[in-house]
Amino acid sequence: MNKPTPIFNKIIALPQDHGSWIFLFTPLILGWLFSSNPNLEMAALTIAAITFFLMRQPISILVKVLSGRRSDKDKKASIFWTILYGAIGMVGLIYLLLRGKQLTIYLLLIPGVVLLAYYLIQITNHNERRQKTFEMVSTGMLAELAPLLLFLDRGTFIIQDLFLWLLLWFQAAASIEYAFGRLNQRNWKEVPDSKVRIQNGMDALVKTGLNLIFVYMLSSRGLVGEYLWLAYLLQFGETILSISWPGINTKPVMIGFRQLGVSIGFLVLFALLW
């Protein structure tokens, strides 16, 4: 009989899709940076968001164990981390509830539960990999953390909060589209002609291009920072580079690190120019 997996196993305790971390921390960092009165309610929301984000890994492994996709030796560790993360996250939500912030809880919890349920169903159907649309929708839920933090800061929503949510969501969706296109290039045996390269990168090019145009229009009307569009120029330029010089035989981890660099650059520019 196999020995149970040790409780402190990072593969069970921590998400292995490392690229998703930036989608969580970008709205959290910006929400705190743009706030004028940081408080315990913001801390409670941050703790709840991080722990529920972490909980997806052990609960996914637990579902795989229960559906026969993984050995029972992972069951104890996955249950432990699921309960631990869930309990910590609930402490944050209960504090918000006691403070009368039910709206914040609904906006965070309802889409989170729906998306998690969908993902776990896909796991039972062996269909959870490369779910591009699901990943894009999920980043929309994470992007709302920034305006929710600002709501807890000032006690009300303003029109800029809507722009903040949409702009962070659109950037995250475009970066996912870029990553999928970049990963497809790995399967090419040689550099194809420009038509094939453009066709492969067209979805990312359209999304990053529309993002750039949309933000420029908002900037020109004074609805966001005058030069905020420069933050979106970064991903648009990277998309053009990926079409011109495809990543044939590039390791996925290197593609991830390159996109992480672009995402960090975006975060810095956004924070400075918002």
pLDDT at 1 over 70: no
- What pLDDT score does 9 carry? 85
Mean pLDDT over 118-123 rounds to 90
How far apart are the C-alpha atoms of 90 and 38, rounded to whole Å? 21
- What pLDDT score does 124 carry? 86
Domain boundary among the residues 90, 125, 156 is at: 156
- What pLDDT score does 82 carry? 96
pLDDT at 147 over 90: yes
- What pLDDT score does 128 carry? 76
pLDDT at 255 over 90: no
139 and 219 co-located in one domain: no
Task: Say which range, 31-40, 102-111, 151-160, 211-220, has the weakest mean pLDDT.
Answer: 102-111
| Percentage with pLDDT > 70 across the chain | 99
**What does the block give as tokens for 39?**
């408080």
Domain boundary among the residues 156, 175, 199 is at: 156
144 and 28 co-located in one domain: yes
* Residues 173, 136 contacting (CB under 8 angstroms): yes
91 and 194 co-located in one domain: no
93 and 3 co-located in one domain: yes
**Is the model more confident about 127 or about 208?**
208
**Phi-psi group of 9: left, alpha or beta (phi > 0 → left; psi -120 to 50 → alpha; rest → beta):** beta
Domain, as residue range, for 49: 1-156
96 and 5 co-located in one domain: yes
Instruction: Map tokens 């921390």 to a residue.
Output: 25
Task: Say which range, 19-23, 124-128, 265-269, has the weakest mean pLDDT.
Answer: 124-128
Per-residue model confidence as pLDDT tens digits over 164-194:
999 999 999 999 999 999 999 988 988 999 9
Per-residue model confidence as pLDDT tens digits over 36-93:
999 999 999 999 999 999 999 999 999 999 888 888 898 999 999 999 999 999 999 9
29 and 59 co-located in one domain: yes
Q: Count the domains in the chain.
A: 2
- What pLDDT score does 142 carry? 95
Strand (E) positions, 9-112?
none
Q: The pTM is what?
A: 0.92
Residue 2's pLDDT band, with cuts at 50, 70 and 90, is low
User: How much is the CA Rg of the chain, to the nearest whole Å?
Assistant: 20
How far apart are the C-alpha atoms of 127 and 167, rounded to whole Å? 29
